[in-house]
Amino acid sequence: MLRKEKPNTHAKPTDFDFLKVIGKGSFGKVLLAKRKCDGTFYAVKVLHKKTILKKKEQNHIMAERNVLLKNVKHPFLVGLHYSFQTSEKLYFVLDYVNGGELFFHLQRERCFREPRARFYAAEVASAIGYLHSLNIIYRDLKPENILLDCQGHIVLTDFGLCKEGMEQEETTSTFCGTPEYLAPEVLKKQPYDRTVDWWCLGAVLYEMLFGLPPFYSRDVSQMYDNILHKPLQIQGTKTVAACDILQGLLHKDQKRRLGAKTDFLEIKSHVFFSPINWDDLYHKRITPPFNPNVAGPADLRHFDPEFTQEAISASITRTPDLAASSSSASDAFLGFSYAPTEEDI
């Protein structure tokens, strides 16, 4: 059951103490915040309306909000607690997760052993399968968008490129994603379907096992050419099952890709995942292969010091009068604000 929505009348910037910058994006920053009334820690994503409107990205922001509201019931998707706005900014109040980005851990260790890579890939696949069941394509799967919680389970974040209303057979053709993880059909600007997410899962699994995305080149045009034309190369001593799932997920023909027929069911039943009990996985009964060992919410060891040492702008904590905003800015984000009902709490 999805959360009931109601106009948010009570959440505002002054309800929170903003403690540290813990991330950055193209439209704003993510901050560690503590709610004053009860000391609960949250990650608060603060976006600048002006930048969003300038880049004509308001539809993506509203789609992100809609998807976040549907995430609440899945263990491996970041959840939304509140959203609100001021005349200049939008605020997403999200689950705070401090085990670090998968990207951070992968950079430090170069690559993971197969059981660890399988565990993360299974939790990611479970999250993607759930989004697909809601007719949502994720479209931006990469290690930077996969976080670890304090126990070491994955939490998928950043839903700005999600596409809603995508039935099983439906296609879309918007060119979006991150260069290293783009599927061939996206590069060709052809209509694509939800199998783009399974291509990305293959690319992330490959990177976990080998340390680099499958068709990587520093020269982006060469990398695009590799994605389109170069056969997949698997070096070293990987199991037959690992080689087979990578070949299946990274099939250049989306109609023959693993997941093209029965979506998540096909992924689940692949021999590579045979050691996984999917019910235990979903209920977090499997002990993660790596524990981030965080001492508590204030432990920021897995965040980049480049972010955490940055000063927090005073404008983030102010609550300007929304009525003072330009009508175009407020009209563009009608319905953005959300607070849980008492029933949800």
CATH number at residue 258: 1.10.510.10
Binding-site positions for ATP read 54
Rounded to two decimals, what is the model's pTM? Answer: 0.91
Number of domains comprising the chain = 2
Q: Are residues 107 and 59 in the same domain?
A: no
Same domain, 265 and 309: no
One domain for residues 68 and 215: no
**Domain span including residue 323:** 13-97+296-332
Annotated binding site: 54
Same domain, yes or no: 92 and 118: no
Query: Which one of 140, 149, 193, 197 is the catalytic residue?
Result: 140
State whether 255 and 166 are in the same domain: yes
- Do 148 and 270 lie in a common domain? yes
Same domain, 34 and 128: no
Amino acid at 166: M
Dist CA 230 CA 225 (whole Å): 7
Instruction: Per-residue pLDDT tens, the chain, 345 aa: give them.
Output: 444 444 445 688 999 999 999 988 777 899 999 999 999 999 999 999 999 999 988 888 998 998 998 876 799 999 999 999 988 999 999 999 999 999 999 999 999 999 999 999 999 999 999 999 999 999 999 999 999 999 999 999 989 889 888 887 778 888 888 999 999 999 999 999 999 999 999 999 999 999 999 999 999 999 999 999 999 999 877 899 999 999 999 999 999 999 999 999 999 999 999 999 999 999 999 999 999 999 998 899 998 888 888 888 888 877 655 544 445 556 778 889 898 876 555
3-state secondary structure of 234: coil
Neighbour-count burial of 133, counting CB atoms closer than 10 A to its CB (0-12 exposed, 13-18 middle, 19+ buried): exposed
Are 312 and 167 within one domain? no
Type of residue numbered 23:
G
Residues 84 and 108 in one domain: no
332 closest CA partner among 89, 59, 139: 59
Q: Is 321 a catalytic residue?
A: no
CATH of the domain at 56: 3.30.200.20
Q: Which DSSP category does 15 fall into?
A: G
